[in-house]
Amino acid sequence: MGFFETIGEAARTFIEGNWMNAIMWVIGGILIYLAIKKEMEPTLLLPIGFGAILVNLPGSTIANDGQIIKLLYDIGIANEFFPLVLFIGIGAMIDFGPVLTNPKLMLFGAAAQFGIFFTLSMATLLGFTGLEAASISIIGAADGPTSIVVARELLGSESKLFGPIVVAAYSYMALVPIIQRPVVKLITTRKERLIRMEYKQKDVSKTTRILFPIIITAIVGFVAPDGLPLIGCLMFGNLIRECGVLNSISETAQKVLANLITIFLGISIAATMKAEAFLHPKTLLVLGLGLVAFIFDTVGGVFFAKFINLFAKKKVNPMIGACGISAFPMSARVIHKMGQEEDNQNFLLMHAIGANVSGQIASVVAGGLILSIFMQFPR
C-alpha cells in the first residue's frame, strides 16, 4: 500500500469514526465565525463555539465528571446559579428610563411574547410532550438565562433537548438583525415604516425608579410565583443601580460580575454539546421551532402596533412593536436603523429602546408564567 493510500485510508477511518464530532466542529466554527467576523453576541457565541470544538475532539474528556467543563456546568448551570447571577448583572445594566417616561410602550413588550405561545402550539402539533413543548417555546423569550432556567426546571439539565434549546436561544438572539429585518419588511408597508414618532424628554423621579423594580417583583411574585427567582434577580440588580447608594457594587455587577459569569456560562454550555447528545433529529426541530418563535414574536409585536393604530390619534410606527422582544439592544438598533433607511429624519431610537426594555420584563413574566403552569404537570 502506497503512502497516499495509507493516508487516505487513515483519513477515511477517522472520518467514519468521528463524523458526528466533525459536524460539531463545523457548528463550533460557525459560532466562532459569527462571533468574530459578524460581531454577533461574541461574549457568548465565542465561548460556546470554542467549547463545542473542545468537547468533541477525539478522546476529549474535558466534559466528563470531575473535569473543568463538567465542574463549571454542575456548579453553574445544573443548579441555575450562573443564569440567575447573570440576571443581577443584566438588571444593573438596564435603564428603565425610556419605559418610565412612556409606560404605554410596555404593551409592545407584552404583545411580542406571542411567539412563545404560538411555538408552544406548533411544538405540540409536532408531537412534543407538554413539558418539552413549553421548554422549546421559551426560546421565544429571546433571553438566554430565562431559557436555561425554564428548560432546566421543566426537563432537567440531563435532557437531550436542553443543549439545543440553550444554543438556539443564544444563537437566534445573535441573529436578531438577520431574522427581524425581512419579517418586519414583509408585514409593514413603506407608508407605515415612514411614520414619525415624537419623543418628549421627561424627568423620571428617583422615587419612581426605586419603586418600579420593587413593584414589578411583587406583582410577578403574586401572578407567577415560580418566576420569582428570575424577576427577583433581575430587579435586584436594577434596584442596586437605581438606589444611588451602591454605585460601586452596581458597577461591579454591570461589568466584572456579568463578564465573569458570561465567560463561565458560555464555556459550560458546551458541556451539553457533545455530538452523541446534541446530534439527533429533534435538534433540527428545536432549531426550527426556535426560529418560528422569534419570527412570531416579531409578528405579534408589529400587528399589535397596527391594531393600536386603528384607534390611536397619534399613530405608532408599527416597527416599534418588533422591539418588544427581549433581545436588547440589538432589536432596538435594527428598528432604528430601518426607520432611518426609509427617512433619515425619523428618529425611533428612544421608542425602540423603551419597547425593547419592556420586552425584557415581559419575557421574564412569560418565563415565570410558563414555569408556574407547567411545574404542575406530571414528570
Identify whether the C-beta of residue 266 lies closer than 8 Å to the C-beta of residue 44.
yes
Question: Nearer Cβ to another protein, position 47 or 359?
Answer: 359
Window of 238-246, 254-262, 345-353, 355-363 that interacts with another protein by CB under 8 A: 355-363
User: CA distances (Å), 340 to each of 181, 316, 335, 346, in order?
Assistant: 13, 16, 9, 6
Does 124 help bind another protein (rule: CB under 8 A)? Answer: yes
Of 6, 13, 64, 129, the one binding another protein by CB under 8 A: 129
Which listed residue (155, 235, 366, 371) binds another protein by CB under 8 A? 366
User: Is-contact 163 282, C-beta < 8 A?
Assistant: no
Per CB under 8 A, 121 contacts another protein: yes
Q: Closest approach of Cβ 152 to another protein, in Å?
A: 20
369 binds another protein (CB under 8 A): yes
DSSP 291-355: HHHHHHHHHHHHHHHHHHHTT-SSPPPTHHHHTTSS-TTHHHHHHHHHHHHH-TT---HHHHHHH
List Cα–Cα distances, 364 to 63, 78, 175, in angstroms. 30, 20, 20
Comparison of 60 and 124: residue with beta carbon closer to another protein: 124
Here's the x/- map for another protein, 84-113, by CB under 8 A: it reads as ---------------xx--xx-xx-xx--x
Among 45, 161, 216, 353, binds another protein (CB under 8 A): 216
- Name the segment binding another protein (CB under 8 A); options: 31-39, 49-57, 208-216, 305-313: 208-216
Cα(125)–Cα(239) distance, integer angstroms: 42
Say which residues have a Cβ less than 8 Å from residue 368's Cβ, sequence separation at least 6: 220, 223, 224, 225, 226, 227, 228, 230, 231
Residues at the contact surface with another protein, assessed by CB under 8 A: 99-100, 103-104, 106-107, 109-110, 113-114, 116-118, 120-121, 123-125, 129-130, 133, 202-205, 207-208, 211-212, 215-216, 219-220, 223-224, 358, 361-362, 365-366, 369-370, 373, 376-378
